[in-house]
């Protein structure tokens, strides 16, 4: 038997229940979970807010563990191997976007870890092999777990942003995503500016590698960035539409606002600066399993780490509430007590 934390009705409590340990089917493996991050997107399970959400469901898409059984047809993955499983739960390999190598855009309703099938809030889970990332020895499970979502999202957005070494990159927001974005931007060799509200985030942003901190409550970030030549990229991780829109004025010519945070309200976009400076606004999804693997390897090598509050599975309710409160510094991780 195994213990998992499930949600069985919309907005109901997490229930720690015993279930049979599942057997992996074709092209899947069973993962003995070591740690799983608690992410804001898990609210889509807690509230049954994801379209077509079927309950009960075990959330969790920031999973680090070890393969402890393999299904038929599995090649290249072995029992005992450390693996990570993120949001991207696999792809079909047959649809037109997949045939073009755009696995993130798979149109067949690809699996989503912890949404379409049970995720990592438990002792074991089943994962398709197309969702697996290798985990380097240099990262502990708790350190690695949030890198499977917040980490890969910021890392992959920055490395695909078109910014080159030395370019001015502003990371807007120093929270769950932003505190990783600042570290990645600095380690990638960008001229890194962190922007957030309040003086208290300043010393932290500088300690994470930012060259400069802009407190948006005392200084207009668009004016400050323009005075520095304008940002090549603004990595927008906040969830306030007005604050995000205000960053457009800080973009240099051909600069891009990359949207990672999801404000509930639409952005206001002034047309003239977009036209005159060939500026862009774009979104970025997180990444596929190989992107996660690249993220983990980069972090192991360069020392980029998520700042985490780690708790046992038994405290899942407190862990979730802490994450939802926005007060966690900065990610919350469930550790299954195996390592
Ligand atoms: Zn997530
Ligand atoms: Zn596909």
* 224 Cα to the center of ligand 2, angstroms: 44
| Element housing 329 (H / E) | none
CA distances from 112 to 81, 135, 142, 149, 288 (A): 22, 20, 21, 12, 11
Closest CA to 296 of 13, 32, 26, 35: 35
Read off the pLDDT of residues 32-73 as tens digits, 9 standing for 90 and up.
999 999 999 999 999 999 999 999 999 999 999 999 999 999
pLDDT cut 70: percent of the chain above it? 100
* 156 Cα to the center of ligand 2, angstroms: 20
**Is the pLDDT confidence value at 136 over 80?**
yes
Read off the pLDDT of residues 177-213 as tens digits, 9 standing for 90 and up.
999 999 999 999 999 999 999 999 999 999 999 999 9
User: Residue 90 CA: which ligand is closest?
Assistant: 2
The β-bridge relationship of strands 331-335 and 63-70 is unpaired
Residues paired with 249 in a beta bridge:
none
Cis omega (within 30 of 0) for bond into 330: yes
Q: Which residues surround ligand 2, an ion (CB under 5 A)?
A: 91-92, 95, 98, 106, 108
Closest CA to 318 of 328, 306, 308: 328
* 133 Cα to the center of ligand 2, angstroms: 19
Closest CA to 310 of 282, 274, 337: 337
Provide the mean pLDDT of the chain: 96
Coil, helix or strand at residue 7: strand
Closest CA to 316 of 120, 171, 151: 120
> Looking up tokens 């078109």, which residue turns up?
162
Q: What is the DSSP track for 41-98?
A: GGHHHHTT-STT--SSB---S-EEEEEEEE-TT--S--TT-EEEE-SB----S-SHHH
User: Residue 93 CA: which ligand is closest?
Assistant: 2
User: Residue 107 CA: which ligand is closest?
Assistant: 2
Beta strands in the chain (DSSP E): 2-7, 14-19, 28-38, 63-70, 82-85, 124-128, 132-134, 168-172, 191-196, 212-215, 231-236, 251-259, 280-283, 308-312, 331-335
Read off the pLDDT of residues 63-99 as tens digits, 9 standing for 90 and up.
999 999 999 999 999 999 999 999 999 998 999 999 9
Cis omega (within 30 of 0) for bond into 175: no
Handedness of CA 265, 267, 268, 271 (dihedral sign): negative
Phi, psi torsion values for 151, nearest 5 degrees: -70, -55
Residue 5 and residue 16 in contact, taking contact as beta carbons nearer than 8 Å: yes
Residue 89 and residue 132 in contact, taking contact as beta carbons nearer than 8 Å: no
Task: Produce one character per residue of 227-247: b if its CB has 16 or more CB atoms within 10 Å, e if not.
Answer: ebebbbbbbbbbbbbebbbbb
pLDDT at 110: 87
User: Residue 44 CA: which ligand is closest?
Assistant: 1
**Is the pLDDT confidence value at 172 over 90?**
yes
Q: Could you give the angle at which helices 178-187 and 150-159 cross, rounded to 10 degrees?
A: 40
User: Residue 306 CA: which ligand is closest?
Assistant: 1
| Element housing 240 (H / E) | none
Residues paired with 195 in a beta bridge:
172, 214
pLDDT at 173: 97
pLDDT at 3: 97
| Helix, strand, coil fractions of the chain, as percent rounded to 5 | 30, 25, 40
pLDDT at 216: 97
Read off the pLDDT of residues 223-274 as tens digits, 9 standing for 90 and up.
999 999 999 999 999 999 999 999 999 999 999 999 999 999 999 999 999 9
pLDDT at 339: 76
CA angle, 186 then 189 then 195, to 5°: 40
pLDDT at 109: 84
pLDDT at 274: 95
> Quick one: CA torsion of 299, 303, 306, 307, rounded to 10 degrees?
170
User: Residue 42 CA: which ligand is closest?
Assistant: 1
In this structure, the number of other CB atoms found within 10 A of the CB of residue 96 comes to 10
pLDDT at 21: 98
């Amino acid at each position: 038997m195994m213990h998992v934390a499930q949600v069985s009705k919309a907005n109901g409590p997490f229930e720690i229940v015993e279930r049979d340990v599942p057997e992996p089917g074709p092209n899947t493996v069973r993962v003995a979970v070591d740690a799983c991050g608690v992410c804001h997107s898990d609210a889509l399970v807690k509230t049954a807010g994801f379209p077509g959400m079927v309950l009960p469901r075990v959330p969790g898409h920031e999973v680090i563990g070890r393969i402890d059984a393999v299904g038929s047809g599995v090649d290249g993955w072995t029992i005992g191997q450390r693996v990570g499983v993120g949001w991207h739960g696999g792809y079909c390999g047959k649809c037109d976007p997949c045939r073009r190598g755009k696995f993130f855009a798979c149109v067949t309703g690809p699996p989503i870890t912890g949404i379409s099938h049970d995720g990592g809030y438990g002792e074991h889970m089943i994962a398709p092999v197309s969702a697996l990332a290798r985990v380097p020895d240099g990262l502990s499970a708790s350190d690695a777990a949030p890198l499977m979502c917040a980490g890969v999202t910021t890392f992959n957005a920055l490395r695909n942003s078109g910014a080159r070494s030395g370019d001015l990159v502003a990371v807007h927001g120093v929270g769950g995503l932003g505190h990783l974005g600042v570290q990645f931007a600095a380690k990638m060799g960008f001229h890194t500016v962190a922007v957030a509200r309040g003086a208290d985030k300043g010393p932290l942003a500088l300690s994470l590698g930012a060259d400069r901190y802009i407190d948006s409550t005392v200084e207009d970030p668009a004016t400050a960035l323009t005075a520095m030549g304008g940002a090549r990229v603004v990595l927008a991780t906040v969830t306030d539409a007005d604050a995000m829109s205000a960053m457009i004025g800080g973009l240099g010519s051909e600069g891009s606002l990359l949207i990672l945070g999801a404000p509930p309200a639409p952005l206001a976009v002034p047309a003239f600066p977009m036209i005159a400076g060939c500026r862009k606004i774009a979104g970025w999804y997180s990444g596929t399993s190989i992107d996660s693997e690249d993220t983990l390897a980069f972090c192991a090598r360069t020392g980029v780490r998520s700042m985490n509050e780690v708790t046992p599975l038994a405290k899942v309710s407190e862990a979730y509430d802490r994450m939802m409160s926005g007060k966690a510094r900065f990610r919350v991780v469930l550790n299954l007590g195996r390592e």
